[in-house]
Amino acid sequence: MRTVYVNGDYVPEYQARVSVFDRGFLFADGVYEVTSVLGGKLLDFNGHAARLERSLGELGMSSPLSRDELLAIHRELTRLNEIDEGLVYLQITRGAADRDFAYPEGSSPTVVLFTQKKQLADNPIAERGMSVLTIPDQRWGRRDIKTVQLLYASMGKMMAKAAGADDAWMVEDGQITEGTSNNAYIVKDGKIVTRQLGTEILHGITRAAVLRFAREAQMEVEERPFTVAEAQTADEAFITSASSFVMPVVRIDNVTLGDGAPGRVSRRLREIYLDESLRAAI
């Protein structure tokens, strides 16, 4: 039985309650973060906390909890639920109010956190590499805000599943934006290419760390859009996210990359990311 955090209380999950008038439920008027746990410690907590503050700010909400309070709750839930490896999910919505499109004045935010045990480091897909299906990017235009309106991402995962692929990469104006729940990269002649930050993609916390480690390791990085055709003729491809770290991609639609096995750069970056993030985990 899991313990979850709801608005100041740690309660068994069956006792957790949120109002049917909650704007997260009615309007997807809320933001979230997913932070991974390895060896009982949080990876990149400060990055996630900073992005949370930014997402809230973009929606005109202020954080109901300080960063220290948030850290304490993440740690307490990890301890109570004995999470050695897994995820902490955090969601903050604008709270409950009479249904109205305009933001209500004076609603108190709803804050929910829960944990999920999950094997992250030893993932068999890291060994075989994943396949992705390309689909049109039909999401809204503010993908830099980490809102809970994730329906198109779910639809994309289902399209991938129906096609026998592991995930989908989304395409807009002929260029890949990102994966349904991850950032997308290709590697050509040793150079790592990934789309630049903007409103078209989520500013991945894992992306920031991986690009920093890559540059520190003297790897060349170029932040620009790339096409499906360019990706299909790349030497390697991979994705990053808090829950997958660095995951090699070996197939894009019906095209196999290289010899069909995870590439050298992708494997090396996964190793470096795991080592460095574990070292800095809190």
Which residues does the annotation mark as catalytic? 146
Options 161-169, 213-221, 237-245, 263-271: segment touching ligand PDD (CB under 6 A): 237-245
Q: From residue 43, give the alpha-carbon distance in Å to each of 7, 181, 277.
A: 24, 18, 6
The secondary structure of residue 109, as a DSSP letter, is: P
Options 17-25, 180-188, 190-198, 271-279: segment touching ligand PDD (CB under 6 A): 180-188
Binders of ligand PDD among 206-225, rule CB under 6 A?
206-207
Q: How far apart are CA 266 and CA 129, in angstroms?
A: 10
**Total residues at interface with ligand PDD (CB under 6 A):** 14
Query: Least separation, in Å, of the C-beta of 254 and ligand PDD?
Result: 24
Other C-beta atoms within 10 Å of 201: how many?
Answer: 23
Counting Cα atoms < 13 Å in the Cβ hemisphere of 227 gives: 5
Give the amino acid at 139: R
> Could you say whether residue 137 binds ligand PDD (CB under 6 A)?
no
The secondary structure of residue 82, as a DSSP letter, is: T
Longest dimension (CA), the chain: 58
Query: Least separation, in Å, of the C-beta of 48 and ligand PDD?
Result: 7
Q: Which is nearer to ligand PDD, 109 or 204 (CB)?
A: 204
Distinct helix (H) and strand (E) counts, the chain? 8, 15
Binders of ligand PDD among 59-98, rule CB under 6 A?
none
Name the residues that contact ligand PDD, by CB under 6 A.
Answer: 34, 178, 181-183, 202, 204-207, 240-243
